[in-house]
Amino acid sequence: MTTPTLDVVQIPVLEDNYVYLAHDRASGQTAVIDPAVADPVLAEAARRGWRISHILNTHNHGDHVGGNKAIQEATGCRIVGFGPDAERIPGITDRVQDGQRVSVGSAVAEVIFVPGHTRGHIAYWFAADRALFCGDTLFALGCGRLFEGTPQQMWPSLQRLRSLPDEARVYCAHEYTASNLRFALTVEQDNAALRERGERVTALRARQQPTVPSLLGEEKATNPFLRADRPSVAAAVGLPPDDPVAVFAEVRRRKDVFR
Ligand SMILES: [Zn+2]
């Protein structure tokens, strides 16, 4: 199906996690993406009269799979995760691979393998709805830490996400944007689009409003981790512009120690 069919609801949980409900209007089926916890997710679905049919996990971390078992017990839902990571995904029923399609009613997501944050991280791209669920790989103005992967893996992962359309909505799993902004400004203080976005981010956070989802087009223009092949970013970290993996690695290293 090529027409949009999803209603997406964002549920803030724990300190700064976002869990998502993606409801297919055509069939009534509903997916939960990365349930950190179960109770607020079950409550929100019940309040809307939505039947949870699937959990889509991007990776194995506890604040992404913590609600799997309780939601599955309450709803009998399927649990979709990366096949080679199956032993780390509680309750997994559907083992998927890069390039595979996942159906939630009439809505279809493509699985994109994006190793780096973990060795088994995947993203779900609902092309018709322009909705990207990217877990802890790409954040608004940031990217995930490299817990199990290398810059040589993460940079191509981010390039794959960057190749999606500008209109893609980036449903990442954390509200980290304000601190990511402070860091991004140390890399590209002369980026006018970044400064303009920074004003919007600051205003939203002052009112405790979410900055997520963002649009992929604004990430391409302002997120330093998607811009490691830009001469301005290479120059900012004192490296030549012809080795984006090295530039990405250095930007990531600086963020790791940024306070
Ligand atoms: Zn994680």
CA of 143 to the centre of ligand 1 (A): 11
Judge whether 59 counts as a catalytic residue. Answer: yes
CA of 76 to the centre of ligand 1 (A): 25
- pLDDT tens by residue, 78-108: 999 999 999 999 999 999 999 999 999 999 9
CA of 169 to the centre of ligand 1 (A): 20
- pLDDT tens by residue, 199-223: 999 999 999 999 999 999 999 999 9
CA of 173 to the centre of ligand 1 (A): 9
Q: Please report, for residues 42, 94, 205, 238, the alpha-carbon distance to residue 248 in angstroms, rounded to integers and kept in the order given.
A: 39, 33, 27, 12
CA of 4 to the centre of ligand 1 (A): 29
Given 61, 85, 121, 129, which residue is catalytic? 61
Average pLDDT of the chain? Answer: 97
CA dihedral for 46, 70, 210, 161, sign (positive or negative): negative
- pLDDT tens by residue, 113-126: 999 999 999 999 99
pLDDT score recorded for residue 259: 86
Given 23, 54, 117, 121, which residue is catalytic? 117
Interior CA angle at 71 toward 28 and 2, to 5°? 30
Q: In this model, does residue 2 exceed pLDDT 90?
A: no
Are 237 and 186 in contact by the 8 Å Cβ rule? The answer is: no
Given 24, 59, 85, 121, which residue is catalytic? 59
Compute the half-sphere exposure of residue 125: CA atoms within 13 Å on the CB side of its CA.
Answer: 20
- pLDDT tens by residue, 221-230: 999 999 999 9
CA of 144 to the centre of ligand 1 (A): 7
Per the confidence metrics, is the pTM higher than 0.95?
Answer: yes
pLDDT score recorded for residue 94: 98
pLDDT score recorded for residue 1: 47
Judge whether 64 counts as a catalytic residue. Answer: yes
Judge whether 121 counts as a catalytic residue. Answer: no
- pLDDT tens by residue, 126-184: 999 999 999 999 999 999 999 999 999 999 999 999 999 999 999 999 999 999 999 99
Topology (CATH) of 6-129: Metallo-beta-lactamase; Chain A (3.60.15)
pLDDT score recorded for residue 258: 95
Are 41 and 32 in contact by the 8 Å Cβ rule? The answer is: yes
Given 63, 85, 121, 129, which residue is catalytic? 63
